[in-house]
Structure 1
């Protein structure tokens, strides 16, 4: 006789409600108020590795530094750039971070071209550069399915983790193998369909660890405009913004402690009275 298994929750939370994934935890309850209450992310450096960010977008505001990964016959390098966003994706992510952590420092590394085009080696180079700059939080609403980049991405993700740089990585929108969100050294994010714009959930059936608002959400786009769109890409910067707020309030947290604080503050996690304070 086979035991029925629950529907997979790995890539996104669709067709199920938060009440269907309760999680019991022992120990002290870390509340949102303790974790990020009163914090605006001030002093925390957040880097968006994406398609660039449109400068002066009213829903993004100041961009403290913009860079681009260039690939030509001389190799791959990262340089400062005055250009903006090639396709809107990075601006959308930056706007969500700004809305969530309005006083964080915001940086951009462009690794995507027009029509969301990009390569694994350019993505790797941009992420490596961001890790080397020791940003506090890196938002990576991108992934690669190319297996040949897996080892390098894994090593880089571990380096970031132990260096107190939190890589917040988006799960693929479809159930395929892609990286680096699959690695335990990053904070991986999928989306839920709930209306509450501040609701985030812990996933009791990883590898995706958290679900955040990312379905039918309003985001900034090119030309100072906004659009409504859906995708794990747009849930990820919400968690990145929360990370910025937590680190602004508790600057000595390691990435492990940051991830644990998010877990214990998730709306579907309840702490038993045993051992609680």
Structure 2
């Protein structure tokens, strides 16, 4: 806008930070947990991360290469029972919408040395099939990825039970699901499940700022407003939404796991809470 400052766009989506403080008495930590102990200068080296989304533009300079690209695909012909089963196969299509590239780029911006795999389940209109999502998640859990970033969800109730069982399977297998809360005030899955680390957005321009949410079901808030992220065609865009908050938590978790490879979802959730920026000062005893 020539000759005038452009007005800041008002962001209106659900599950965003209200700036509340969390009571330190609720933390099972007799002493503060430092970020230098939690992740320090770790880069996520050796930590396997799966991004289930719209694919990834692997040659984007902000992605850094080395991305395995897969897709959930449906069989060309029917099986003997008449169904057309889904499977995960190598993908040459790359990102078809930009959303997955943005999420993968955010993960890599925080954990540049993580081992990144993309499984495409969304089309160019960011629409997808629930069976494709389930197939991708089942594959990623079976492959025992340390972290699975799911910046999408489904509202369809007939997928709820299968997703819930899969989230529990991931929990017991040491696979951490990190899922963006829906941008609207609705119930959707898998972010609503307690076994999943769910993420909403704050607007503080600090990619390492984490806020613990004193009002579940969302667990944490991370940067999700005006986030600089890679996009299609080698471009960079400013994006907003809980989708882009979740990969900030995924990237930080990759760094924590490099330093503490034995951690699972409960430990990751505890460390993120103990190092959150909105923990109120402890009262003198």
TM-score, length-normalised on structure 2? 0.88
TM-superposed CA distance for 1:193, in Å, is 1.4
Task: Choose the corresponding residue for 1:227, options 217, 220, 237.
Answer: 237
Any idea what the Cα deviations from partners look like across 1:168-213, whole Å, max 9, x if unmatched? Answer: 0000001001000001101100001122332110000000000000
2:48 matches 1:38: no
2:16 matches 1:12: yes
Q: Could you say what the CA RMSD is over the residues aligned between the two structures, in angstroms?
A: 1.7
Q: How many residues in Structure 1 have an aligned counterpart in Structure 2?
A: 263
2:215 matches 1:212: no
Change (3 A) 1:206 1:189: same
Instruction: Show the 5 A alignment for 1:155-170.
Output: 155-170=165-180
TM-superposed CA distance for 1:105, in Å, is 0.5
CA contact (8 A) 2:70 2:91 kept: yes
Provide the rounded CA distance (Å) in 2 between the counterparts of 1:131 and 1:63: 21
Any idea what the Cα deviations from partners look like across 1:114-173, whole Å, max 9, x if unmatched? Answer: 111201111111111111110010000010000111111111011111111111000000
Provide the rounded CA distance (Å) in 2 between the counterparts of 1:152 and 1:28: 40
Equivalent residue number for residue 69 of structure 1: 72
Q: Which shifted more, 173-182 or 57-66?
A: 57-66
Provide the rounded CA distance (Å) in 1 between the counterparts of 2:94 and 2:132: 17
Provide the rounded CA distance (Å) in 2 between the counterparts of 1:21 and 1:270: 6
CA contact (8 A) 2:14 2:183 kept: no
Task: Choose the corresponding residue for 1:49, options 29, 47, 52.
Answer: 52
Instruction: Show the 5 A alignment for 1:174-185.
Output: 174-185=184-195
Task: Choose the corresponding residue for 2:159, options 130, 149, 170.
Answer: 149
TM-superposed CA distance for 1:63, in Å, is 3.4
Instruction: Show the 5 A alignment for 1:88-237.
Output: 88-237=98-247
**Secondary structure of the residue that 2:171 maps to in structure 1?**
helix
Provide the rounded CA distance (Å) in 2 between the counterparts of 1:75 and 1:271: 54
CA contact (8 A) 1:10 1:207 kept: no
Provide the rounded CA distance (Å) in 2 between the counterparts of 1:170 and 1:76: 24
Provide the rounded CA distance (Å) in 1 between the counterparts of 2:115 and 2:127: 27
Provide the rounded CA distance (Å) in 2 between the counterparts of 1:59 and 1:33: 25
Task: Choose the corresponding residue for 2:261, options 251, 256, 267.
Answer: 251
Equivalent residue number for residue 87 of structure 1: 97
Is there any run of 5+ residues in structure 2 with no aligned partner, and where?
1-12, 79-83
CA contact (8 A) 2:21 2:280 kept: no
Is there any run of 5+ residues in structure 1 with no aligned partner, and where?
1-8
